[in-house]
Amino acid sequence: MTAIRIENLTRTFGAVRAVDDISLDIRHGELFTLLGPSGCGKTTLLRMIAGFVDVESGSICFDGRRIDALPAHRRDTGMVFQNYAIFPNHTVAENVAYGLKARKIPAAEIVSRVDKALERVRLAGYGPRSPHQLSGGQLQRVAIARALVIEPAVLLFDEPLSNLDAQLRTEMRVEVRQLQQALGLTAIYVTHDQEEALAISDRIAVLRHGTIEQVDTPERIYRMPQTAFVAEFLGSTNMVPGIAGAFDGHNTPVAAAGTEFTVRGEVAAPGTPVLLSVRPEALQLRDGSGGSLVHARLALREFLGPVQRLHATLPDGTPIRISALGGQALDLLPGAPLTLAYDPAQITAYPAP
Amino acid sequence: MKRFATIVTLAALVLLAVFLLYPLALVLDASFRIDGTGGLTLGNYAAIVKSRYYLGSIGNSLLCAALATVFACAIGIPLAFCLARIDIPGRALLLTLASLPLVLPSFVSAYALVLLFGHAGVVTTALRGIGIPIGSIYGLPGIVIVFTLTLYPYVVMPVLAGFQAVDASMEEAARNLGGSRPYVIRTVLLPIVMPAILAGGLLVFIEALENFGVPAVLAEDRPFLAVDIFKLFAGESDANPAAAGALSVLLIACTAIALLVQRHYLGKRRFSTNARSAPAKLPLTPGLRLTATIVSWGIVIASLLPFAAVLMISLLRFRGPVLTWEFGLGNYATLLSGSYRPLLNTLTLASIAAVATMLIGAPIGYVVARHRSRLSGLLDFVGMVPFAVSGTILAIGLIIAFNSGPLILTGGWLILVIAYVVRKLPFAIRSSSAIVHQLDPSLEEASINLGVSPSKTFATLTVPLMASGLVGGLVLVWITAASELSATIVLYASGWVTTTVVMYHAIEGTGAGLAAAAAAVLILVTAIPLLLINRRINKQESTVI
């Protein structure tokens, strides 16, 4: 178990600030995810921790010990690469034993630890095989076993599941999470897949242009995004520009898209332009009245099985997406009027950019 | 990691500066000096411009190289297309055979032409016997024929790769949008392979321009740049090193311009090679398929026939320059009766040079591919310079540089090895950097991440992963060093005569039988390792995939 402290870490490539003055505290035994679009600096940050990218300024400490000046091979991290990086000239067992041999572990102990590691990733008996005889998912497990077997201070995952198909990806992320929890290892996980990040993490840092937008638990990141970027990046939310009205001590009305939304709390001074984040699942189809309502007109219905995605337009023509259950509104045709109810607490307002 | 790269880069640059750039600078310097007194002058260049002979020499060389390029493209592009898109019987074997002319010594092919169609050639004599006179093959026609037949694989290989790199969907999309097949070939296929055609064509042009052996055998008294440089520098009667220097500078300028044009053009155009599915073979009528088969096999067989003829003729008895139809090993007896030394020298020098070239070239290739910096960019450029410099010119530079002064190398074996290493270095660098490009950098990172230091990772992981490719490179360097003529003929000393030198002198003199035997030995020496390595490479490929 290792706690990681990152302070004022910076790295530039030419004119691009890939990692821009980032500070983070990662706790013992935590699975910490770096989430963001490509080019946000998440992989650079991970590779700085692994020692493949030089630190320009700032520091990285494992349990209070500075490691950012150590060469990569002496940092005691176990990294799982995006393309697995299984040595093609070694067998599965030799791949897993590689780090143990580098650590001069006695041969007998290597054999037993390799066997145990392969068992743990459900590849018992695959040791003598060549990597090219294995499927993508199996190679992925070898890569995980190879990183686990050295009992590293920190596990590093660089988009480990992005080369797998959708089904295997959801299976493997459960396995990764269970292994990490069972072994109690501190892990840093890089991904651009928000669903994967929400599913697997203890905490998530959302990165953008080399800086941190928000660090929080998956639930809070999703429910209470602190910036418009986080709200938009996590889940496909509707961003509706509007003008704040007068706060009534409880809610604030916001004039937007030819109608009015009610937002919990004091949003901004009356007359200030704001940006509303309305999650598709926060809007519910309703027949009657009561509560906060908006009216829209159906444009297109996508039936996805358990759920449906409705594409509608607000009174001034602003497009909006609504999630509905699979069985609802099956008889609605394009052009039909919709009445949508919502909880004012589930709508967040941001200052307009 | 960075220290390792810097050390390799600096060591390589020092080596190239001493054994490549310094000698070349001396050649350039000599071209501006008055022969004998050493005063500065432009007279050498003025003399060339005023001399009809030397202008003719430059003209002949350029014309020859241009014609060879056109003809090599004319047979290379259709052959590449047939290999890529038509189901030709024996395609795999054909592909292997088509690459052979590149490594077999071209002056042997030229000599075969002399044996068959020369003044006392087999075919010439036979035709004259029944009253049909044939034209002379000496000079331009013969030289262009030999260059075309030995250099066309330079066009075939990249163009074939280009045709195969066009994803099937591109052509399907073009046809789906309503393009007829010829229209699709003109608007989609050819533009995509055009860079490959130009790259291959320029290789042919440069190789033909620099080549010494072929015009040495076939030019007789006609002026040719590469031969004239040699005669001016090493000739017994009319030696003029300063004029040789001036001609050398002009030759290097021609090749350098061609290379720069190529770089400029290719820099702007790149076609992606990540084809998912290779395009399907064309559906052809049996007649068309037969035609394609005959043409493809015909081209390849025609290019290999001269070598087969030499092997045959070496087993026949010569009476003076006249060939008889009696079989015998007399030619080989003559070749070996003098001494085994030339053959032994050839094998020894080629082995030392091949190992040294790969030992120096592999780390350079690794650094150039993995560690992009201004310094490694410079190394990449300087490492390619030998390609623009003919063997004769490099050898002249080496002699001027190491004939006196602190380091005297002339007259020994080392200077030959140095010449071979420098000349073959671009090949070693290119082939090893190509291998490194195919290795995923995360393999090395994984090894380092697991606790193995960068230098140990290079030695225990990267080198074994490169090994199969490096062995292939080693054999190819060995083969081309064993049949090297243009630098050897300038640099050899009495104790270090090689088989190529024996053959050259036998052709110059009257030892037709001796030359045929030496040529046959050279063919065997180059072909046998190639066939061995080819089997090995095939086996590796099947196990890796």
pLDDT 10s digits, B365-398: 888 888 878 888 888 888 888 888 889 999 999 9
Determine the Cα–Cα distance for residues A225 and A229; give it in Å rounded to an integer. Answer: 8
Residue with tokens 């937007």: A256
The answer for B 439-478 residues in CB contact with A (under 8 A) is: 440, 442-443, 445-454, 457, 461, 464-465
pLDDT-based confidence at residue B198 (cuts at 50, 70, 90): confident
**Number of Cβ pairs < 8 A linking chain A and chain B:** 66
The answer to whether residue B405 neighbours chain A at the CB level (below 8 Å) is: no
Distance of CA B467 to the CA centre of its chain: 23
> Percent of chain B beyond pLDDT 90?
26
Distance (Å) of CA A160 to CA A193, A196, B454: 11, 11, 24
| pLDDT score for B273 | 47
Determine the Cα–Cα distance for residues B411 and A99; give it in Å rounded to an integer. Answer: 53
Prediction pTM value: 0.78
What does the pLDDT average to over B87-114? Answer: 87
Determine the Cα–Cα distance for residues B362 and B370; give it in Å rounded to an integer. Answer: 12
| pLDDT score for B540 | 39
pLDDT-based confidence at residue B120 (cuts at 50, 70, 90): confident
Q: Are residues B451 and A50, on separate chains, in Cβ contact within 8 Å?
A: no
Paired strand residues for B224: none
Question: Do residues B88 and B82 make contact, with C-beta atoms less than 8 angstroms apart?
Answer: yes
**Structure-block tokens of residue A166:** 């959708």
The answer to whether residue A150 neighbours chain B at the CB level (below 8 Å) is: yes
Q: Are residues A88 and B465, on separate chains, in Cβ contact within 8 Å?
A: yes
Q: Which of B70-84, B92-106, B275-289 has the highest mean pLDDT?
A: B70-84
What average pLDDT values come out for chain A (353 residues) when binned by 10 residues? 90 90 94 93 93 91 92 90 89 93 92 94 92 90 92 92 86 91 93 93 95 94 90 87 90 90 88 91 78 89 87 92 80 87 89 81
Determine the Cα–Cα distance for residues B203 and A342; give it in Å rounded to an integer. Answer: 72
Listed by start position, the domains of chain A span 4-233, 238-351
Domain A4-233 belongs to what architecture? 3-Layer(aba) Sandwich (3.40)
In chain A, what is the greatest distance between 2 CA atoms, to the nearest angstrom?
75
**Does the pLDDT value for residue B167 go beyond 60?**
yes
The answer to whether residue A82 neighbours chain B at the CB level (below 8 Å) is: yes
**Does the pLDDT value for residue B321 go beyond 70?**
no
Which one of A74, A75, A79 has the shortest CB-CB distance to B446?
A: A79
Report whether CATH 3.10.110.10 matches the domain A238-351: no
Q: Are strands A319-325 and A307-313 parallel, antiparallel or unpaired?
A: antiparallel
Paired strand residues for A312: A298, A320
Which one of B453, B461, B544 has the shortest CB-CB distance to A73?
A: B453
Strand order in the sheet with A259-264: A259-264, A251-256, A238-244, A273-278, A347-351
Dihedral over alpha carbons B114, B116, B118, B119 (to 10 degrees): 140
Q: Are residues B445 and A88, on separate chains, in Cβ contact within 8 Å?
A: no
Which one of B442, B445, B465 has the shortest CB-CB distance to A89?
A: B465
**Does the pLDDT value for residue B265 go beyond 80?**
no
pLDDT digits (tens, 9 = 90+) for B508-519: 776 778 888 888
Distance (Å) of CA A175 to CA A92, A126, A170, A242, B372: 19, 18, 9, 44, 39
B440, B449, B460, B462: best mutation site toward chain A, by most A Cβ within 10 Å? B449
| Average pLDDT along chain B | 84
**Structure-block tokens of residue B342:** 């030339």
The answer to whether residue A103 neighbours chain B at the CB level (below 8 Å) is: yes
Residue with tokens 């592009």: B77
Q: Are residues A85 and B461, on separate chains, in Cβ contact within 8 Å?
A: no
The answer for A 107-136 residues in CB contact with B (under 8 A) is: 132
Determine the Cα–Cα distance for residues B303 and B297; give it in Å rounded to an integer. Answer: 10
pLDDT-based confidence at residue B268 (cuts at 50, 70, 90): low
- How many residues in chain A? 353
Identity of residue B344: L
**Does the pLDDT value for residue B187 go beyond 50?**
yes
* Residues of A with Cβ-Cβ distance to B453 under 8 angstroms: 71, 73
pLDDT digits (tens, 9 = 90+) for A258-316: 899 999 888 888 889 999 999 998 888 877 666 788 999 999 988 888 888 899 999 99
Q: Answer with the residue of higher pLDDT: B320 or B211.
A: B211
ipTM > 0.90 for the complex = no
Burial B246-270 (b: 16+ CB within 10 A, else e): bbbbbbbebbeebbeebeeeeeeee
Q: Are residues A85 and B442, on separate chains, in Cβ contact within 8 Å?
A: yes
pLDDT digits (tens, 9 = 90+) for B199-246: 889 889 999 998 999 999 898 888 898 888 988 888 766 677 888 888
Contacts (Cβ under 8 Å, ≥6 apart) of B473: B358, B361, B427, B428, B431, B432
**Structure-block tokens of residue B26:** 């001396």
* Residues of B with Cβ-Cβ distance to A79 under 8 angstroms: 445-446, 449
Determine the Cα–Cα distance for residues B111 and B424; give it in Å rounded to an integer. Answer: 24
Q: Are residues A74 and B451, on separate chains, in Cβ contact within 8 Å?
A: yes
| pLDDT score for A224 | 86
* Residues of A with Cβ-Cβ distance to B447 under 8 angstroms: 87, 98
Residue A142: name the closest of A126, A163, A158 by CA: A126
Q: Are residues B451 and A99, on separate chains, in Cβ contact within 8 Å?
A: yes
Same fold: A4-233 with A238-351: no
| Average pLDDT along chain A | 90
Q: Answer with the residue of higher pLDDT: B539 or A125.
A: A125
CATH fold for the domain made of B1-23+320-545: MetI-like fold (1.10.3720)
Q: Answer with the residue of higher pLDDT: B133 or B368.
A: B368
Alpha-carbon gap: B275 to the closest alpha carbon of chain A (Å) = 19
* Residues of A with Cβ-Cβ distance to B449 under 8 angstroms: 50-51, 72-73, 75, 77-79, 156
pLDDT digits (tens, 9 = 90+) for A218-246: 999 998 889 989 998 987 889 999 999 98
Which one of A72, A85, A156 has the shortest CB-CB distance to B443?
A: A85
| pLDDT score for B543 | 31
What does the pLDDT average to over B286-311? Answer: 91
* Residues of B with Cβ-Cβ distance to A87 under 8 angstroms: 443, 446-447, 461, 465
pLDDT-based confidence at residue B126 (cuts at 50, 70, 90): confident
**Does the pLDDT value for residue B542 go beyond 60?**
no
Which residue on chain A is closest to B448 by alpha carbon?
A73
Q: Answer with the residue of higher pLDDT: A325 or B498.
A: B498
* Count of CB atoms situated within 10 Å of the CB of B539: 11
Alpha-carbon gap: B155 to the closest alpha carbon of chain A (Å) = 33
* Residues of A with Cβ-Cβ distance to B443 under 8 angstroms: 85, 87
| pLDDT score for B299 | 94
Question: Do residues A293 and A312 make contact, with C-beta atoms less than 8 angstroms apart?
Answer: no
**Does the pLDDT value for residue B469 go beyond 50?**
yes
Q: Are residues A88 and B544, on separate chains, in Cβ contact within 8 Å?
A: yes
Residue A60: name the closest of A2, A7, A21, A22 by CA: A7
The answer for A 35-54 residues in CB contact with B (under 8 A) is: 50-52
Listed by start position, the domains of chain B span 1-23+320-545
Grouping H, G, I as helix, E, B as strand and the rest as coil, residue B134 is: coil
Q: Are residues B448 and A102, on separate chains, in Cβ contact within 8 Å?
A: no
Question: Do residues B394 and B419 make contact, with C-beta atoms less than 8 angstroms apart?
Answer: yes
List own/partner pairs for A196-200 with CB under 8 A and 24 or more apart.
Answer: A196/A161, A196/A169, A197/A33, A197/A35, A198/A222, A198/A234, A199/A170, A199/A173, A200/A31, A200/A33, A200/A173, A200/A176
* Residues of B with Cβ-Cβ distance to A140 under 8 angstroms: none
pLDDT digits (tens, 9 = 90+) for B412-437: 899 999 999 999 998 888 888 888 88
Q: Are residues B453 and A132, on separate chains, in Cβ contact within 8 Å?
A: no
Paired strand residues for A211: A208
Determine the Cα–Cα distance for residues B483 and B346; give it in Å rounded to an integer. Answer: 8
Phi, psi of A265 (to 5 degrees): 85, 175
